Amino acid sequence: MKQTKENVGEQIAIYSRKSKYTGKGESIENQIELCKQYIRAHYPNCKDDGILIYEDEGFSGGNTERPEFKRMMAEARAKKFSAIVCYRLDRISRNIGDFAKLIEELDGLKVSFISIKEQFDTSSPMGRAMMYISSVFSQLERETIAERIRDNMHELSKTGRWLGGTSPTGYVSEQVEKVTVDGKTKKACKLKLIPEEAELVKQIYKVFLETNSLTKTETYFIQNGYRTKNKKLFTRFALRNILTNPVYMIADEDAYRYLIENEVDLFAEKEDFDGEHGVMAYNRTIQKSGKANQIRPMNEWIVAVGKHIGLIKGTEWIQVQECLEQNRSKSFRKPRSNVALLSGLLFCTCGDYMRPKLSQRKDAQGEFIYSYLCAMKEKSRSHVCKMKNANGNMLDRVVCEEIKRLGADSSEFIRQLELGKKQLEGNREEYDDNLERLRGVLAENEKEIAGLVSSLSKAAGTSTEGYIIKEIDELHGKGEIMRSRIAKMESLTASHALSNIECDIIRQMLTTFKDTIDDMSVDQKRAALRTFVKKVVWDGDNVHVYLFGSDDSGGIELPQDEFLSESGGGLTENEGYTAEPLCENSK
């Protein structure tokens, strides 16, 4: 290890990280101070004002997705400093792959890396080798801890306890004490029956076995006003979750036979299946952030007899699984050619989507006749929503014609677009002036801090030292506030510039839409409409079109025309379309 670094740049970076604030141990402040002391001792050419500090608090070392770390690397690539100093190796990363890439990149950038706790210095070959070895052990430690946690979960699963999370419908989590296998007394949970919800679960299984249909079961529970734990109407998804959850299955002989046949990892003896308690299945789902849970194959489940009371006989639960599997295998149908343009954009006033319903008849233009039907009306068989169906062919035509009119130079929408563009340009000039002023104030603030830092060394050990440090802290705080304001204003300026460009693009696209829409394919028309239209609402009499940039209180309202609605199962025609916008589209 070299004791001094001659011929180095004037700026050195310090990086510090802590997973969360605890007030204990190696706080970020302590890490930074120790790193500063190291720099003062080994980098005599680097003064205090040449130390650049990057701090990440509340971030794990499992990956490098950290804002200050990313900023530091960007500035390393810009050759802003010649070395990075951290208190300990795992402050940078606990992942050997990420760490190896980092060291390789820093080596290419001629940036040294120093970890003062382990006394590693990548400016020497031995230092680089030892750094890799230490990183391997850091990752090994992390993986060993994760493995130990998984083993502990398996041990807990053998007890049939509830391991936490959202309790299933019909039960509530109840805390109890349990002596674990290592002899320590720890708290655990079990499921306690909620009689009212338990009856609802039994009803769900009963209705499904009678109808053999998720759709009909959904309709029944919507029509009768049943609600989930979260006070929402039941959906097919919510019903399927209940129907496939083994927690409801009573641990009886049929359940035992079914689990053995499906080769689950069973932590129970045959005599434990007493015909009273329910089943607990662990390791049943694959959980990924931002994605729906996926069910693992049954041979990966860890199953035990629970401490809770079961609700559904084994034969009935198994029968439900077989019915669901049969329905799944025959549920695929070759989709019909969908010519509807507003699928996914059209809503009913009840808040649900309106989906296209294709008939076998054709209109005078040779197109298949279709209507738009409220999904809630369909699911509830008109019990919750009674909205009239909309004539799909005519509704699509009306919306397209209205968008074509917006492209005309004389339209109100284009006028509002131009006014918005001018306002954005005015705001941009004001933001630029304020930004320039703030940057000047910040520069003066930095100069003042630099002057105080220079005088600090002269005042060392005197009563003046404390006053200088206090003033530096105050100026630093003001500087941070100004940096935050500058960053926000730069973001606003960038978004205004983008919006300005978007104004021109929207106008150009509207003109193109007007000239080319009639020659587009169905898919092209659908994509073009989604460029301008945020949503369309049908209230049974009028259709309201909301464009991007408008709020939900304003939109283009197309008035009632007989051809837009269905009555008595038949479609009435009215070719005399004269719909005009009745209210201004708000920006």
The CATH number given to whatever domain includes residue 285 is 3.90.1750
Q: What share of the chain has pLDDT > 90, as a percent?
A: 16
**What tokens does 327 get?**
């329905």
Q: Which two three-digit tokens encode residue 292?
A: 């729906």
User: For residue 212, which amino acid is it?
Assistant: N
Return phi, psi of residue 502, to 5°.
Answer: -60, -35
Q: What DSSP line would sit under 14-34, residue for residue?
A: EEEEESS--SSSS-HHHHHHH
**Domain stop point among 89, 115, 149:** 149
**Pair (530, 384) in one structural domain:** yes
Q: Is the whole model's pTM more than 0.85, yes or no? A: no
For residue 121, give both structure tokens: 């210095």
383 & 428 share domain: no
- Beta-sheet pairing, 12-18 with 83-86: parallel
Q: Identify whether 458 is part of a domain.
A: yes
Does residue 236 sit in the same domain as residue 295? yes
Cα first-last separation, the chain = 65
Co-location of 17 and 51 in the same domain: yes
Q: What is the spatial distance between Cα 191 and Cα 194, in angstroms, rounded to a whole number?
A: 9
Closest-CA residue to 78 (of 90, 70, 89): 70
- ∠ CA 578-580-583, nearest 5°, is 155
Quote the CA–CA distance of 115 and 240 in Å, as a whole number.
Answer: 53
176 lies in a domain?
Answer: no
Partners of 53 in the beta sheet? Answer: 14
The two structure tokens encoding residue 345? 């954009």
pLDDT computed for residue 421 by the predictor: 57
Decide if 337 is inside a domain. no
Q: Check residue 27 and give its pLDDT.
A: 73
Query: Can you say how many angstroms the Cα of residue 301 is from the centroid of all Cα atoms in its chain?
Result: 28
Asked if the structure places residue 341 within a domain, the reply is no
Q: The domain that contains 101 carries what CATH number?
A: 3.40.50.1390
Whether 548 is covered by a domain: the verdict is: yes
Query: Are 65 and 125 in the same domain?
Result: yes
* pLDDT value at residue 128: 64
Domain hosting 243: range is: 198-330
- Greatest alpha-carbon pair distance for the chain in Å reads 97
Does some domain include residue 162? no
Q: Is residue 323 part of a domain?
A: yes
Q: Using CA atoms, how far apart are residues 538 and 353, in angstroms rounded to an integer? A: 10
| Residue 52 in domain | yes
Q: Tell whether 368 and 440 lie within a shared domain.
A: no
Under-50 pLDDT residues of the chain: 1-8, 22-25, 179, 181, 332, 334-335, 495, 497-498, 559-563, 567-587
Same domain, 119 and 262: no
Tokens of 383: 């019990």
Examine the domain organization and report whether 251 and 292 are in the same domain.
Answer: yes
Which among 330, 355, 380 is the end of a domain?
Answer: 330
Are 306 and 257 found together in one domain? yes
Domain C-terminal end among 149, 167, 187: 149
Say yes or no: 126 and 47 in one domain: yes
- Cβ neighbours, 10 Å, residue 310: 24
Number of structural domains the chain divides into: 4
The CA-atom distances, in angstroms, between 40 and each of 2, 4, 15, 36, 145 are 14, 10, 16, 6, 37
The residue with tokens 């390789």 is: 104
How many residues are recorded in the chain? 587
113/46 same-domain check: yes
Q: Please, are residues 527 and 338 in contact by the beta-carbon 8 Å criterion?
A: no
Whether 144 and 250 share a structural domain: no
Cβ pair 61, 93 in contact under 8 A: yes
